[in-house]
């Protein structure tokens, strides 16, 4: 597997920083598309929580719809849209689960309410009522009263390791700039594409 270059990571971080500066509200939000073995595609927003040359990390519930799809087909695509400065980054590649140590370390940084929420939510399963969810929250609050909340086994991170990464910048008259990084002969090559 070819890692990202530091230059690609720096370029992404510069684009993220630019989006922050112009006031993008959720600059780390990315729309993540996954699919099952039959080619049914689904997408939803998740937050980017870590990035280095190994890839883009997000956290979720492995029993959720996306978690089940990623188990069957460990590939995904993700798109960051930064409307405030007409900018977009697209990724596509393989996805792997992060180590338990990495998941534990991130889980420990979450506020207690979100840690309890990870236990209370059977993500993507039908929920009969809001009261039931609130009751489950109370149950886990009392279970963990006075204790550290441990990470549920089914809640972890995934690392998207891009095989393609594209930077898009809006320009006048729809003559936008597109720079796509692709892998050729075990090296990253950058192509400029027509908008």
Ligand X SMILES: Cc1cc2nc3c(=O)[nH]c(=O)nc-3n(C[C@H](O)[C@H](O)[C@H](O)COP(=O)(O)O)c2cc1C
72 binds ligand X per the rule CB under 6 A: no
The nearer residue to ligand X, 6 or 114, going by C-beta atoms, is: 114
29 binds ligand X per the rule CB under 6 A: yes
- Determine which one of 151, 159, 174, 192 is catalytic: 174
60 binds ligand X per the rule CB under 6 A: yes
Q: Which long-range contacts (CB under 8 A, 24 or more apart) does 37-40 make?
A: 37/72, 37/73
Q: Least Å distance between CB 67 and ligand X? A: 6
**What are the structure tokens assigned to 25, written together?**
């509200």
The nearer residue to ligand X, 60 or 87, going by C-beta atoms, is: 60
Helix axes 112-120, 130-143, angle to 10 degrees: 120
113 binds ligand X per the rule CB under 6 A: no
59 binds ligand X per the rule CB under 6 A: yes
Q: How far apart are CA 116 and CA 132, in angstroms?
A: 14
- Among positions 38-57, residues that touch ligand X (CB under 6 A) are 42, 44-47
The nearer residue to ligand X, 12 or 181, going by C-beta atoms, is: 12
The nearer residue to ligand X, 130 or 172, going by C-beta atoms, is: 130
Residue 174: active-site member: yes
Q: Binding string to ligand X for residues 128 to 167, with x set by CB under 6 A, is what?
A: ----------------------------------------
The nearer residue to ligand X, 63 or 169, going by C-beta atoms, is: 63
62 binds ligand X per the rule CB under 6 A: no
26 binds ligand X per the rule CB under 6 A: yes
Catalytically active residues are: 174
Interface contacts to ligand X, rule CB under 6 A: 26, 29, 42, 44-47, 58-60, 64-66, 123-124
């Amino acid at each position: 597997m070819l890692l990202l270059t530091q230059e690609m990571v720096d370029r992404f971080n510069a684009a993220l920083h630019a989006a922050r500066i112009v006031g993008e509200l959720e600059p780390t939000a990315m729309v993540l598309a996954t699919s099952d073995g039959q080619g049914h595609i689904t997408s939803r927003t998740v937050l980017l929580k870590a990035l280095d040359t190994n890839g883009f990390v997000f956290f979720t519930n492995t029993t959720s719809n996306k978690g089940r799809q990623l188990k069957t087909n460990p590939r995904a695509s993700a798109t960051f849209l930064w409307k405030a400065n007409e900018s977009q980054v697209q990724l596509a590649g393989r996805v792997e689960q992060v180590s338990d140590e990495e998941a534990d370390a991130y889980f420990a940084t979450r506020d207690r309410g979100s840690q309890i929420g990870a236990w209370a939510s059977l993500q993507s399963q039908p929920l009969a009522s809001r009261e039931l969810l609130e009751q489950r929250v109370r149950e886990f609050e009392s279970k963990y009263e006075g204790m550290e909340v441990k990470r549920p086994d089914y809640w972890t991170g995934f690392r998207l390791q891009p095989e393609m990464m594209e930077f898009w910048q809006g320009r006048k008259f729809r003559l936008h700039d597109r720079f796509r990084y692709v892998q050729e002969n075990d090296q990253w090559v950058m192509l400029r594409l027509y908008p």
